[in-house]
């Protein structure tokens, strides 16, 4: 990896029907992945083949990222990116 | 039409069952179920009545859509004055009992007085009779249901009953029907026990007549199609159940943990939906066996689970090595995160016990959590707990407390009084996570501001099912709002409360509203019932019910000062997650809420509001 592509570790979580898109080393729906400096939320979603239309609840560190923010919002080292399809309960 | 027009009045003291006409004027103003039963309670009882007095009445109520082809039409409610809160109690259940009662030809059953000895009510269509239940007293819900089924010799009968908790006066005892569906909250099971009424068994073959069958079929099909195609009601809930929320709510830092000392739980991922579906190493099976549906429900959100047969809770108890009602989110949270317990199998066992003996797992779990905090500060010791070291996170200690409460033994008797009375007794009322005396559920209002107002203003005390703004604030349904702001939440809470009161009075399930709006539900009521049921009327009925319940509580002695939250939520900031450093800012929402409701500054409905709603 060149110096221009700083790798950073983040925690990546996919839940419910999206669990199948997790890397095989994930445990309890969570794994650590490398992201590159400047990589956006949508780029990570696309890289793991998560269908954008199923990425309903997208949270970075527990804070909701709206669809329009996902092209702009850059992931930072140590972040937790967690994604759910539409879910409910109560 | 759609109402049967008949009410069964059961005088437990006299031992008589009489049929009377439903007051149709009230039915048109309050729809049915929650609304209509509350109207009868308001008209027939003194709000200051002791909840355990024979003068308190208890009403089993169906709605106009109960037992029809409308989707999720299995709902029914129990209404009485509640012993846990001293406020109106209204507990909603699913399963098959409610539809059977409606199909037997009854809108409601009103129980009054107290029987001199244990009895059960036996209903077959228009025949109803009180029968001796001496041999059933002391039996569990599961034993009672099996015994009555055998006695009747009819596999299609439906049973609602109480277990030991209801008999022992546990203030959060539930009434359980169909083995694992419950009118769970506010202690309606204890009121049933106080009347010496063990069970109701019913068989109904009369059917439900609706105003316009073709219109109901058409509107129901539209609703069913929406429910089937919606990602939540068509896929999410049937596949993952309510337990899918465990990781969501933990992620947003709103999972009340260690009696709300914390807002996130390290063990959350061990006890949620995804963990339930994982194959166990011990027996190669998953905790989750299947999903399950109530009467007429295309969603099928309920869980069927089997406990690991090698687990310490059941390994010598074959009676629990069965497939039965599995964990739902609120139960898993209350007994798990609130106590710091991350053992899925132990929680499933505790849930089985709640169903078997008729306990509300929310209040039970939260009360044990309060006891754990009392223990951690030395306010109680092993001398009080019967030798149990009641540490947060100790699974065996937790299970021992569940069993003791279910049996009414030792320290379990004190736990059976709920967390407020327990904490007051030991000098720390601030450890009680209650509103109006009822334990609040699985959402920390420091991280979901609107839920603080929803809890504080709930007419039955701490509750998520009166106005579930989590749907918008966290889940983005129908649209996302920011859980950390208070702006706009007063209106959101009121809108959820009024729509919910309508749905709760219709005979259908509130879970439909993740996909359906009032515009989809009202046409089914309109097709079934006499008169014109626009969505505006549907919501207005909801608002009328909300204000009627409020008036009942005011007459019972509640004031605006009771519209508050445990001090911890208002003063101690969340320690982690997105809400780190925040408290709930109820004071920013409550005055606006009162204004939107048409109540004065002290929370009393104005004469103008009461006049507008015909109260």
Q: What is the pLDDT of residues B405-440, one digit of tens each?
A: 999 999 999 999 999 999 999 999 999 999 999 999
> Given A16, A63, A85, which is nearest B578 (Cβ)?
A63
Q: Residue A71 maps to which CATH number?
A: 3.10.20.30
For residue A90, being part of any structural domain is answered with no
**Which chain A residues are Cβ-neighbours of B237 within 8 angstroms?**
88-89
pLDDT in tens, B180-238: 999 999 999 999 999 999 999 999 999 999 999 999 999 999 999 999 999 999 999 99
Distances in whole angstroms, Cα of residue A44 to Cα of each of A13, A16, A68, A78, B326: 11, 18, 15, 15, 35
For residue A37, being part of any structural domain is answered with yes
Distances in whole angstroms, Cα of residue B363 to Cα of each of B97, B191, B442, B448, B549: 24, 16, 11, 20, 22
Residue A2: band (very low, low, confident or very high) from pLDDT cuts 50, 70, 90: very low
**Which chain A residues are Cβ-neighbours of B247 within 8 angstroms?**
13, 15, 29, 82
Structure token digits, residue B145? 């249901």
Answer yes or no: is pLDDT of A3 > 90.
no
Ordered by where they begin, the domains of chain B are: 6-203 (3.60.9.10), 257-432 (1.10.569.10), 451-612 (1.10.599.10)
The answer to whether the beta carbons of residues A74 and A45 sit under 8 Å apart is no
> Given A29, A82, A88, which is nearest B274 (Cβ)?
A29
Which helix (H) or strand (E) is B519 found in, with range?
helix B518-528
The answer to whether the beta carbons of residues B572 and B583 sit under 8 Å apart is yes
Point out which residues pair with A14 in neighbouring strands.
A83
Q: Is B514 on the interface with A (CB under 8 A)?
A: yes
3-state SS of A29-43? Answer: CEEEEEEECCCEHHH
Q: Is B251's CB within 8 Å of A90's CB?
A: no
Overall domain count for chain A: 1
Domain limits at A53? Answer: 7-84
With H, G, I as helix, E, B as strand and everything else as coil, classify residue B136. Answer: coil
> Given B232, B269, B465, which is nearest A88 (Cβ)?
B232
Point out which residues pair with A37 in neighbouring strands.
none
Distances in whole angstroms, Cα of residue B375 to Cα of each of B243, B262, B416, B582: 29, 17, 17, 27
What is the rounded distance in angstroms from the CA atom of residue B186 to the CA atom of residue B248? 27
The answer to whether the beta carbons of residues A58 and A45 sit under 8 Å apart is yes
For residue A2, being part of any structural domain is answered with no
Bridge-based pairing state of the strands B88-93 and B76-81? antiparallel
Dihedral sign, CA of B511, B514, B519, B524? negative
Q: Which of B577, B575, B597, B576 is nearest to B456 (CA)?
A: B597
User: Cβ atoms within 10 A of the Cβ of B497, count?
Assistant: 26
For residue A52, being part of any structural domain is answered with yes
Q: Is B244's CB within 8 Å of A15's CB?
A: yes
Q: Measure the CA angle with vertex B513, ends B509 and B517; round to 5°.
A: 125
| Tokens 């109820």 sit on residue | B586
Q: How many C-alpha atoms does B163 have within 13 Å on its Cβ side?
A: 29
Distances in whole angstroms, Cα of residue B445 to Cα of each of B332, B396, B456: 19, 30, 10
Q: Is B475's CB within 8 Å of A87's CB?
A: yes
Bridge-based pairing state of the strands A57-60 and A80-84? antiparallel
What is the rounded distance in angstroms from the CA atom of residue B47 to the CA atom of residue B81? 8
Q: In sequence order, what are the residues at sequence separation of 6 or more whose Cβ sits closer than 8 angstroms to the Cβ of residue B367?
A: B172, B405, B415, B418, B419, B422, B439
Say what angle helices B535-556 and B33-44 make with each other, to 10 degrees.
40
Point out which residues pair with B183 in neighbouring strands.
B175
Q: What spatial distance separates the first Cα and last Cα of chain B, rounded to whole Å?
A: 25
The answer to whether the beta carbons of residues B156 and B96 sit under 8 Å apart is no
Give chain B's residues under pLDDT 70. Answer: none
Q: Is A90's CB within 8 Å of B253's CB?
A: no
Instruction: Decide: residue B608, CB within 10 A, 0-12 exposed, 13-18 middle, 19+ buried.
Output: exposed
Q: Is B245's CB within 8 Å of A87's CB?
A: yes
Phi-psi map region of B163: left, alpha, beta (phi>0 left; psi -120 to 50 alpha)? beta
pLDDT of amino acid A1: 43
What's chain A's average pLDDT? 93
> Given A15, A19, A90, which is nearest B242 (Cβ)?
A90
Structure token digits, residue B549? 């319940």
Give this complex's ipTM. Answer: 0.95
Structure token digits, residue B258? 């260690």
**Which chain A residues are Cβ-neighbours of B240 within 8 angstroms?**
16-17, 87
For residue A1, being part of any structural domain is answered with no
For residue A65, being part of any structural domain is answered with yes
**Which chain A residues are Cβ-neighbours of B229 within 8 angstroms?**
none
| Tokens 């006890």 sit on residue | B271
pLDDT of amino acid A90: 85
pLDDT of amino acid A5: 57
Q: Å from A85 to nearest chain B CA?
A: 8
Q: Å from A28 to nearest chain B CA?
A: 6
Answer yes or no: is pLDDT of A37 > 70.
yes
Phi-psi map region of B531: left, alpha, beta (phi>0 left; psi -120 to 50 alpha)? left
Q: Is B475 on the interface with A (CB under 8 A)?
A: yes
pLDDT of amino acid B53: 98
The answer to whether the beta carbons of residues B525 and B70 sit under 8 Å apart is no
Q: Is B234 on the interface with A (CB under 8 A)?
A: no
Structure token digits, residue B46? 């003194």
Q: Is B277 on the interface with A (CB under 8 A)?
A: no
What is the rounded distance in angstroms from the CA atom of residue B54 to the CA atom of residue B496? 34
**Which chain B residues are Cβ-neighbours of A57 within 8 angstroms?**
248, 474-476
């Amino acid at each position: 990896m060149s110096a221009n592509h700083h790798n950073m570790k983040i925690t990546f979580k996919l839940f419910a029907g999206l669990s199948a898109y997790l890397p095989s080393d994930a445990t309890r729906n969570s794994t650590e992945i490398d992201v590159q400096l400047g990589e956006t939320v949508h780029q990570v979603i696309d890289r793991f083949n998560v269908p954008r239309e199923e990425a309903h609840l997208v949270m970075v560190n527990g804070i909701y990222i709206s669809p329009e923010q996902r092209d702009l919002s850059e992931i930072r080292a140590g972040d937790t990116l967690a994604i759910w399809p539409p879910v409910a309960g109560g | 039409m759609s109402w049967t027009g008949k009410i069964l009045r059961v005088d437990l003291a006299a031992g008589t069952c009489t049929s009377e006409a439903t007051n149709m004027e009230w039915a048109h103003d309050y729809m049915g179920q929650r609304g209509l039963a509350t109207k009868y309670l308001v008209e027939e009882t003194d709000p200051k009545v002791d909840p355990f007095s024979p003068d308190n009445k208890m009403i089993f109520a169906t709605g106009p859509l109960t037992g029809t082809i409308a989707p999720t039409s299995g709902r029914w409610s129990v209404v009485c004055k509640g012993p846990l809160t001293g406020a109106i109690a209204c507990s909603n259940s699913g399963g098959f009992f409610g539809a059977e009662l409606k199909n037997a030809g009854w809108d409601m059953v009103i129980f009054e007085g107290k029987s001199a000895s244990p009895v059960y009510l036996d209903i077959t269509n228009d025949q109803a009779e009180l029968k001796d239940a001496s041999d059933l007293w002391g039996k569990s819900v599961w034993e009672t249901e099996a015994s009555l089924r055998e006695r009747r010799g009819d596999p299609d009968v439906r049973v609602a009953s109480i277990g030991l908790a209801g008999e022992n006066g546990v203030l959060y005892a539930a009434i359980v029907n169909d083995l694992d569906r419950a009118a769970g909250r506010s202690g309606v099971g204890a009121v049933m026990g106080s009347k010496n009424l063990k069970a109701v068994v019913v068989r109904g073959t009369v059917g439900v007549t609706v105003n316009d069958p073709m219109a109901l079929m058409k509107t129901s099909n539209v609703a069913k199609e929406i429910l089937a195609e919606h990602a939540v009601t068509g896929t999410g809930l049937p596949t993952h159940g309510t337990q899918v929320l465990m990781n969501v709510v933990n992620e947003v830092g709103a999972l009340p943990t260690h009696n709300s000392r914390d807002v996130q739980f390290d063990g959350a991922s061990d006890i949620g939906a995804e963990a339930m579906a994982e194959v166990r190493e011990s027996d190669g099976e998953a905790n989750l066996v299947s999903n399950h549906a109530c009467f007429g429900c295309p969603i099928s959100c309920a869980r069927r689970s089997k406990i690991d047969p090698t687990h310490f809770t059941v390994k010598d108890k074959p009676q629990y090595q069965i497939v039965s009602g599995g964990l739902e989110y609120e139960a898993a949270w209350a007994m798990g995160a609130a106590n710091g317990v991350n053992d899925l199998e132990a929680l499933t066992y505790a849930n089985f016990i709640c169903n078997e003996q008729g306990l509300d797992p929310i209040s039970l779990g939260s009360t044990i959590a309060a006891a754990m905090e009392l223990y951690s500060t030395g306010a109680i010791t092993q001398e009080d707990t019967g030798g149990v070291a009641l540490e947060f996170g100790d699974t065996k200690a937790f299970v021992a407390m569940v069993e003791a409460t279910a049996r009414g033994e030792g320290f379990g008797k004190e736990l059976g009084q709920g967390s407020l009375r327990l904490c007051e007794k030991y000098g720390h009322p601030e450890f009680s996570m209650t509103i109006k005396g009822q334990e609040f559920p699985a959402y920390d209002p420091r991280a979901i501001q609107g839920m603080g107002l929803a809890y504080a203003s709930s007419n039955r005390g701490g509750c998520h099912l009166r106005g579930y703004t989590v749907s918008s604030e966290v889940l983005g349904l129908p649209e996302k709002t920011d859980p950390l702001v208070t702006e706009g939440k007063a209106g959101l809470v009121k809108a959820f409360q009024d729509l919910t009161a309508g749905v709760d009075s219709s005979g259908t399930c509130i879970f439909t509203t993740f996909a359906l709006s009032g515009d989809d539900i009202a046409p089914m009521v309109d097709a079934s019932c006499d008169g014109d049921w626009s969505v505006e009327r549907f919501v207005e009925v909801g608002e009328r019910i909300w204000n009627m319940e409020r008036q009942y509580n005011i007459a019972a002695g509640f004031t605006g000062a009771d519209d508050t939250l445990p001090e911890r939520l208002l003063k101690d900031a969340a320690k982690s997650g997105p809400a780190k450093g925040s408290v709930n800012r109820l004071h920013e929402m409550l005055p606006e809420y009162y204004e939107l409701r048409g109540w004065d500054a002290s929370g009393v409905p104005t004469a103008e509001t009461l006049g507008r709603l015909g109260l």
